[in-house]
Structure 1
Amino acid sequence: MNVHRQSHARRISRRELLKISAAASAASLLVACFPQATPSASPGASGTPQTAGKYALGKLGGPEVITDASKFPKTFKEAPELAALVQQGKLPPVADRIGQDPIVLKPLEGIGKYGGTLRKALFGGVTAELTAYKFGVGPSSLFYWDPTRTKVVPNLALGYEESADGKTLTVHLRRGLRWNDGEPFTADDIMFWFEDIYQNKQLYTPGTSTDLLIAGKPVAIEKVDQYTVRYVSPERNSLMIQRLASPLSDVGGNTFRVARGGYQPKHYLMKFHPKYAAGGQAAVDKMATDAKFNGWVPFFQDRVTWQNNPDYPLMSPWKVTVPMNNPTQFVMERNPYSPWVDTDGNQLPYIGKLQYTAADNLEVVATRAVAGEYDFQENILGVDKLPVLIDGQTRGGYKVYLDPEQGAIGIMINLAYEDDPEIGEWYRNVDFRRALSLGIDRSQINETFFLGTGILSSSAPSDDNLYFPGKEWRTKWATLDIAQANQLLDKIGLTQKDSDGYRLRKDGKGRLRLAFTGVARLGVDGAQLGEMVKQHWQKIGIQLDVDNVASALAQQRIAANQTQMVLNAVATEDVYLFTGTLTPGGGGFSAIIGVPYGQWLTSGGKQGKEPFPALKQAMDLLEKGKTQSDPERTETAKELFRQHIDNVFTIGIVSADLNQGVRIAKTTLGNVPARIVNSNLAQSPVNASPQTFYFK
């Protein structure tokens, strides 16, 4: 048995312009206050970049999952408050709570000590949920990644075997694991999710998860025994183990996304499910009505919303005690049944409480951070806050860490836009997209919004990414060239202009106007960035209107296929596991690339709209790669990047930037990595194993 295996419009205000100018000049402060990289700095042995622009990065690291049983601790200890509950007969002994096969972690620096409350910020609906999930819940996947995100390691599962034909993956669960309410975690929880949630047409649209599709055909899950399940695919599917190791996937853990995750607590949720509830459908309908819900489905979904329901069981180091719908704070406390222990047998986490305090805006978050009010904070600290954060390190008693991402950030285009037929056709014209890309001054954007820490780029991943297509693709259609951009626009027939020099529509209805949805995302003010792009595109005769909207409204418009462009991640760290920024089929903001195209894909052509040829070719290439093994699979992924970049399906701006990669930690906090892989798939910073953090 393998225990691990590699396998709308607005004018920018003077105040905002001043803010942009201030940000652009902030780099000089950084030079004085943060370690600088020397010109000769080269990649380390791991191939990871050692700089972010001018700034040196820390050493990549994290705890180690111990898989050698001979190195497992023989006795176990627990936090004093839990030991007291055991003495009072209110809890079973720690050895009975962690099971026969606990998850053993070797901490990064050393064995910690128990106690303390770790303070963090809480900001923005979905962002707040995601931030809390990325820190306090897990990882709760069956498998996970090592600190370099190159190797799958065991987590809630102990190990696996893969059949010779790559079609069957047999997974062995750890024995004796328990939910935070003390109930056993078994194969029944996986089967309940698969049979009663994923395959329930009222709760889920069956067959729409790309994580459980291979070559357009469904993957089945079968129970072998209490601690064993099989994932059976109709075609070779050697990516299945990686999907099970990625919390972002639909099979990567029971929380974050309603009705997804790969397993759910059957013992708790069955009472809200008509198949199991005493009294059946009538009973769950009454429960829903009594709870003021319009039907059993939204009621069930509410019960599964982990952050707002303290009764919902988790498989995580901490459990919810004050829900996120509380207006002022969100609290998680030590899970008595946490399955993690350190190499000395101490049950993790060391820290007993996570306390998230609500902030009205990101300026408040930064101010509180500098004042030393947070013990650890990540994700929502934008690059624009870096100068003040670095300047305040001594005063606030914290250290700043930088974690560049492996993907890129840029502009996603709605390739399926139809509300204005002419605009839609232009977006589907490759020379139009190339002209837009050539018309952007990436250097100005990088210095202004990223303080020069990013690499000017097409929609290519970082150089150290496994699927990096080659250095020549970094700048393909991604260098400022106003002359060539104008030539391309003239070539496709956009030659007529108004008195202000803007190009006119072909249908005679006046100026050609594009729309950019400016959302504060990824640590960047999307509206301000949009205003800068508006100035760039004026030089090629393109009018851009910038609409400043809230995140929730933007996502509603994207889902309705009403949005033209938005700021988003545009490359991907992994072609096969996080595909929505390269081809249709993703969710959230990434869905903008083509909602009806994604529907066409997941429905097997029964719904949505068939993509135009070039995009369909890229989508076919992706599906081909999913059934391959290496090295063919890796080459297919590189070719997909080449096709995506050459067709400019998205407009890359910078790569390997510090998008969600600025974090702080109190100097009194131990076992904090100097650098972590900034990974959506691994849901950073959970890959730093916060359960091993402790107060010195």
Structure 2
Amino acid sequence: MRRMSLLFGLLALLLAACSAQAEIATQRETPYFEYDVGDGKLPPVAQRLPLHPRIIDLPSMNRETGHPGGTWKMLMGDQRDLRMMTIYSYARLVVFDDKLNFVPDILESIQIEDDKVFTLHLREGHKWSDGQPFTTEDFRYYWEDVANNATLSPSGPSPSLLVRGKPPRVEIIDATTVRYSWDEPNPAFLPALAGSQPLFIFMPAHYLKQFNAKYADTAALDKLVKKARVMNWGSLHERMSRQYRCDNPDLPTLDPWRNRTSPPAELFTFERNPYFHRVDQDGQQLPYIDRVTLSLGTTSLIPAKTASGDSTLQARYLGFEDYTFLKQNEDLNHYKVNLWENGQGSFAALMPNLNAKDPVWQKLLRDVRFRRALSLGINRHDINQALFFGLARESADTVLPQSPLFKETYAKAWSTYDPATANRLLDEAGLDKRGSDGFRLLPDGRRADLIVETAGDVAEYVDILELVGDDWAKIGLRAFTHPAHRDVFRKRILDGETIMSIGSGIDNGNPTSAIEPDDLAPMHESQFQWPRWGLYQESDGHEGDAVDVPEAAQLVDLYRAWRRSTNKAQRQEIWGNMLSINSDQVFTIGIINGTKQPVVISDQMRNVPGDALYAFDPGGFFGIYMPDTFWLANAPGG
């Protein structure tokens, strides 16, 4: 039987070898907690850390060793942005490192057998932010009392935990060892654990049992339900247990910072977790920064507030169009503007809705000649020069050059400006008749006007669509932009009322073959090019429509083959086939990628990369660069 550890065994040995040194070095107390330790409210740091903390060797990462203290200020749009703290913190059972390898983080180590058996080893002595032990009881509670509880999880366990519809066997070996096993491989398991929106397979059982009817006193639970003004105990448990949203300040966490503010509020404060499991190479407990504040306000004002110095580190709600303005205020307000590359497969992609209700449009949108013609009819070079100063890449919607899966042929497929070929393909697709004004007509005599819908939340989309419309007019097609509120926008697409929309392309433009290729197949209703096919897959055939285009059906088969794969070579071949099909079929029409994301960094902030990839997946925007190692030079001791 093949046993592999993905560097985990080696790292575990290194941790064990360094543990004695770490235990001595970590006697240094964090100044933020000195008063509470002296007052007896907190145990000393050596008792707060796991026996073997995760050691972050900053010099080996070409980073400075920092000093604790200070406040990281950020500007956000609304309360939903609290989830950004979970994303940025990027504390996971396993994480991606900056080379996209899986490494243990919250876990001390993991043993993997043929991608079927995963034995997880917790860090002895690891504690939740409230000081209670983090043990396999928290995994048992999630599995038995949440994932398999009909009230809390009516659809059952997460799809990432199912292989051909079958759940894992979950064995609690001891207080620090839990095993998940399937009869067939589950290569989606590790990527789900390491995701920016991770699969949480543990919950703080000691806290949540008070909201669970299996454990709580009925009368006491009824009072809590009434006080919270919710329907039942299931709704209460769901509200109080949201680890990703982190909007319950009483919910214990393993993240570097914990929320201390109850919503609703305009200013949320997160303070350092006294039991966080990472230390630097000198034994100083991380994070370095004591507090993070999220100030909520109007999103349109965030660039101006950032330029005024109101944020310590800011990227969210800043766009490339803000760069010049932000740059002008650098010296005045003591910050620097760096340009990171966006990590999406396409900053802007057009999504022909293959599930459109209109039968004439549906037939046309499903004709690959039409999709190729639309792509060939776009002058990406002009768009790049006019809107991005030539700093972006003209490309189809595909993986980025940084990805080991990248091929130039994917980026170039049907993405070169060629109006002559576009005209020929449109004629062949049945749009060979034109009205008196020279614009093309549908086969039923209607004008072939393309209404492109947008949620209106990305300012550049309107400018891009205006330039695309000018290009398409040259091949006999008129384009119109129709903005809508995001909820209405999504509903219209799912209902088939929309024939085309604009949005970002592949979410993860920098994948490895170990990452699930669900972006490339109709697997989710949120994929605007085939929402009803995605809903069909998500609902296991209970809703939506079955895939009835051969090439799209082939993508579903390939995705399922990836889920059954047993080695890297198989996964690379599957990824290559899926990328080739998507490039050739132009299911989404990528326009531009490699656009630049302004990242505003205070002159006092240290260890933030100057040049990096800004992506939700993999690694949670700032998360993969370990914000717990960022520090402020003007903090005490700095």
Partner-residue secondary structure (3-state), 1:477: coil
Q: Relative to 1, partners in 2 of residues 1:549 and 1:158: Cα closer, same or farther, differing over 3 Å?
A: same
Deviations 1:556-611 (A, max 9, x none): 54555554413112363326635443222246xx4323233223324444543221
- The answer for the alignment partner of 1:114 in structure 2 is 68
- The answer for the alignment partner of 1:625 in structure 2 is 562
Q: How does 1:141-156 map to 2 (within 5 A)?
A: 141-149=92-100, 151-156=101-106
Distance in structure 2 (CA, Å) of the matches to 1:450 and 1:651: 19
What is the CA distance between 1:124 and its match in structure 2?
Answer: 4.9
Distance in structure 2 (CA, Å) of the matches to 1:545 and 1:202: 46
Distance in structure 2 (CA, Å) of the matches to 1:395 and 1:277: 57
- The answer for the alignment partner of 2:86 in structure 1 is 133
2:434 to 483, 486, 497: 497
Partner-residue secondary structure (3-state), 2:289: coil
- In terms of mean alpha carbon deviation, does 681-690 or 531-540 score higher? 531-540
Distance in structure 2 (CA, Å) of the matches to 1:397 and 1:455: 31
Distance in structure 2 (CA, Å) of the matches to 1:167 and 1:184: 29
1:80 to 31, 38, 41: 31
Partner-residue secondary structure (3-state), 2:576: helix
What is the CA distance between 1:219 and its match in structure 2?
Answer: 4.0
Partner-residue secondary structure (3-state), 1:541: coil
Q: Is the 8 A contact 1:372 1:396 kept in 2?
A: yes
| Residues 1:527 and 2:462 are matched in the alignment | yes
Distance in structure 2 (CA, Å) of the matches to 1:463 and 1:554: 32
- The answer for the alignment partner of 2:395 in structure 1 is 457
Gaps of 5+ in 2: 634-638
> How many aligned positions are there?
614
Deviations 1:645-677 (A, max 9, x none): 10111111123332xx32121121122222334
| Residues 1:570 and 2:509 are matched in the alignment | no
Q: Is the 8 A contact 2:75 2:294 kept in 1?
A: yes
Q: Is the 8 A contact 2:523 2:556 kept in 1?
A: no
| Residues 1:432 and 2:370 are matched in the alignment | yes
Q: Is the 8 A contact 1:578 1:681 kept in 2?
A: no
- The answer for the alignment partner of 1:537 in structure 2 is 472
- The answer for the alignment partner of 1:365 in structure 2 is 302
| Residues 1:188 and 2:124 are matched in the alignment | no
2:110 to 128, 139, 160: 160
1:399 to 336, 344, 351: 336
Q: Is the 8 A contact 1:571 1:652 kept in 2?
A: no
Q: How does 1:475-486 map to 2 (within 5 A)?
A: 475-486=412-423
Q: Relative to 1, partners in 2 of residues 1:529 and 1:268: Cα closer, same or farther, differing over 3 Å?
A: farther
Q: Relative to 1, partners in 2 of residues 1:69 and 1:448: Cα closer, same or farther, differing over 3 Å?
A: farther
- The answer for the alignment partner of 1:653 in structure 2 is 591
Q: How does 1:97-496 map to 2 (within 5 A)?
A: 97-107=48-58, 108-124=62-78, 126=80, 128-135=81-88, 138-149=89-100, 151-163=101-113, 165-204=114-153, 206=155, 209-215=158-164, 217-249=166-198, 251=199, 261-279=200-218, 284=221, 287-305=224-242, 306-323=245-262, 325-326=264-265, 328-362=266-300, 364-409=301-346, 410-413=348-351, 415-468=353-406, 470-496=407-433
What is the CA distance between 1:463 and its match in structure 2?
Answer: 1.8
What is the CA distance between 1:3 and its match in structure 2?
Answer: 6.9
Q: How does 1:46-65 map to 2 (within 5 A)?
A: none
Q: Is the 8 A contact 2:340 2:613 kept in 1?
A: yes
- Which amino acid in the other structure matches residue 272 of structure 1? F
| Residues 1:597 and 2:597 are matched in the alignment | no
Distance in structure 1 (CA, Å) of the matches to 2:284 and 2:271: 17
Q: Relative to 1, partners in 2 of residues 1:407 and 1:221: Cα closer, same or farther, differing over 3 Å?
A: farther
Distance in structure 1 (CA, Å) of the matches to 2:248 and 2:327: 37
Partner-residue secondary structure (3-state), 2:453: strand
1:615 to 552, 571, 574: 552
- Which amino acid in the other structure matches residue 616 of structure 1? A
Distance in structure 2 (CA, Å) of the matches to 1:314 and 1:502: 59
Q: Relative to 1, partners in 2 of residues 1:208 and 1:69: Cα closer, same or farther, differing over 3 Å?
A: closer
Partner-residue secondary structure (3-state), 1:569: coil
Q: Is the 8 A contact 1:559 1:591 kept in 2?
A: no
What is the CA distance between 1:518 and its match in structure 2?
Answer: 2.0
What is the CA distance between 1:186 and its match in structure 2?
Answer: 1.6
Q: Is the 8 A contact 1:214 1:235 kept in 2?
A: yes
Gaps of 5+ in 1: 8-63, 252-260
- Which amino acid in the other structure matches residue 289 of structure 2? I
Q: Is the 8 A contact 2:373 2:422 kept in 1?
A: yes
| Residues 1:68 and 2:15 are matched in the alignment | yes
Q: Relative to 1, partners in 2 of residues 1:6 and 1:501: Cα closer, same or farther, differing over 3 Å?
A: farther
Distance in structure 2 (CA, Å) of the matches to 1:532 and 1:231: 52
Output the TM-score relative to the length of structure 1. Answer: 0.82
Q: Relative to 1, partners in 2 of residues 1:357 and 1:506: Cα closer, same or farther, differing over 3 Å?
A: same
Q: Relative to 1, partners in 2 of residues 1:667 and 1:578: Cα closer, same or farther, differing over 3 Å?
A: farther
- Which amino acid in the other structure matches residue 272 of structure 2? R
Distance in structure 1 (CA, Å) of the matches to 2:157 and 2:490: 19
Distance in structure 1 (CA, Å) of the matches to 2:108 and 2:589: 42
Deviations 1:324-346 (A, max 9, x none): 631x2222111122122111111
Q: Is the 8 A contact 2:15 2:52 kept in 1?
A: no
- The answer for the alignment partner of 1:58 in structure 2 is none
Partner-residue secondary structure (3-state), 1:641: helix
What is the CA distance between 1:159 and its match in structure 2?
Answer: 0.7
Distance in structure 1 (CA, Å) of the matches to 2:517 and 2:151: 26
Deviations 1:48-93 (A, max 9, x none): xxxxxxxxxxxxxxxx999433334233223223121111111122
What is the CA distance between 1:476 and its match in structure 2?
Answer: 0.8
Q: Is the 8 A contact 1:213 1:219 kept in 2?
A: yes
- Which amino acid in the other structure matches residue 617 of structure 1? Q
Q: Is the 8 A contact 1:435 1:488 kept in 2?
A: yes
What is the CA distance between 1:421 and its match in structure 2?
Answer: 2.9
Output the TM-score relative to the length of structure 2. Answer: 0.89
The percentage of aligned residue pairs carrying the same residue is 29
